[in-house]
Amino acid sequence: MTQSLGGTFTFPGTSLTVRRMGYGAMQLAGPGVFGPPRDHDEAVAVLREAIASGVDHIDTSDFYGPHVVNKLIKEALHPFPKNLVIVSKLGAKRGADASWNPAFSPEELESAARDNLRHLGIDALDIVNLRIMGDVHAPQEGSIADKVEIMANLQRKGLIKHIGLSNVTSKQVAEARSIVPIVCVQNFYNVANRNDDPLVDEMAAAGIAFVPFFPLGGFFPLQTEALATVATKLGATQLQVAQAWLLQRAPNMLLIPGTSSRGHLRENLASAELKLPADALDQLNVIAAQAKH
Ligand SMILES: NC(=O)c1ccc[n+]([C@@H]2O[C@H](COP(=O)([O-])OP(=O)(O)OC[C@H]3O[C@@H](n4cnc5c(N)ncnc54)[C@H](OP(=O)(O)O)[C@@H]3O)[C@@H](O)[C@H]2O)c1
């Protein structure tokens, strides 16, 4: 492993240190994050190459597939390297029609935590994000205390070591932190979607990891003129520039780009070595400004 993979970050109040460039496993499920992968052997190879390249942070959930992605992670990597931090999430249940349905009762959250443990083949989950439904990809205000209490109970039972939050507002993070320590926040954020700029800064000041989902734009990866201009100048791809921008945005920013191909994985990991000069950062700021109009 020759790459720095973006330096390291320690989740607050934990002994868990990860490289800032991680891997998001959601893309390993079939179309619509449902069913088996298009190419099983490639999915296993992607996971193995990520670890061989120094990745020590994988984001997953038992609702990817459902069960499919966790089972692939187990097949490819179990017994897990000691330094590997697997982060899962709870709060949804898949319907037979591939729908995503809220599942927040104490029974549903506990059985989902146990499903994760069983399918990954481990006794306790390192970190679990409570995924609030809100609007699908945008948080909405409202108390989440009852759900956080249930997560705290799962922690007391030893099923979960540390707790994070996903799709939440600043107020909801504060409310949750009054109940239990929060080690990371996972919201929709990237160079073109910067609604959470204030939350990124707030979490940086608190030493809490900010782990954007859809860091590359999600199912429709980012493509903009500004990214293309900077990419051409630096001899990189647009998505490498988008990832380098995130790594430079704040020291608590951890990346979990998703891919189902080793070629894309290599490109993504290489972006940890790309440094964006000040003029490139200025050019990229234009994307967010344009997205607001
Ligand atoms: N908390 C939440 O609600 C939530 C929601 C969504 C996702 N997540 C997590 O966040 C992780 C990242 O999100 P994501 O995977 O949905 O979106 P993403 O990382 O923004 O983008 C993934 C898409 O980009 C493509 N891609 C990846 N690398 C590429 C490259 N180098 N060149 C061209 N295309 C490339 C992928 O296709 P290929 O497979 O063809 O590479 C896929 O279509 C997920 O894996 C999941 O763990 C969490």
For ligand 1, what atom is nearest to the CA of residue 23? 45
Measured from the CB, is residue 88 less than 6 Å from ligand 1? Answer: no
pLDDT tens for 113-142 read 999 999 999 999 999 999 998 777 899 999
What is the mean pLDDT of the segment spanning 223-227? 94
Print the domain residue range for 65.
18-220+252-258
Domain membership flag for residue 128: yes
Considering the domain boundaries, does residue 246 fall inside one?
no
The CA 101 to ligand 1 mean position distance, Å, reads 21
Q: Does residue 56 belong to any structural domain of this protein?
A: yes
Q: Mean pLDDT throughout 84-105?
A: 97
Q: Per-residue pLDDT for 221 more than 90?
A: yes
Among the atoms of ligand 1, which is closest to the Cα of residue 261?
41
Per-residue confidence (pLDDT) for residue 286, from 0 to 100: 85
In a domain, 281, yes or no: no
Q: What is the mean pLDDT of the chain?
A: 96
Does residue 9 belong to any structural domain of this protein? no
Q: Is 36 inside a domain boundary?
A: yes
Active site amino acids: 64
Structure tokens at 51: 């670890």
Among protein residues, the one with the nearest Cα to ligand 1's atom 21 is: 218
The count of domains in the chain is 1
Question: What does the pLDDT look like over 5-15, one tens digit per residue?
Answer: 999 999 999 99
30 lines ligand 1 (CB under 6 A): no
Residue 101 confidence (pLDDT) above 50: yes
Ligand 1 within 6 A of CB of 27: yes
Tell whether 176 is covered by a domain: yes
Residue 13 maps to a domain: no
Q: What is the CATH number for 179?
A: 3.20.20.100
Window from 136-140, 157-161, 227-231 with minimum mean pLDDT: 136-140
169 lines ligand 1 (CB under 6 A): no
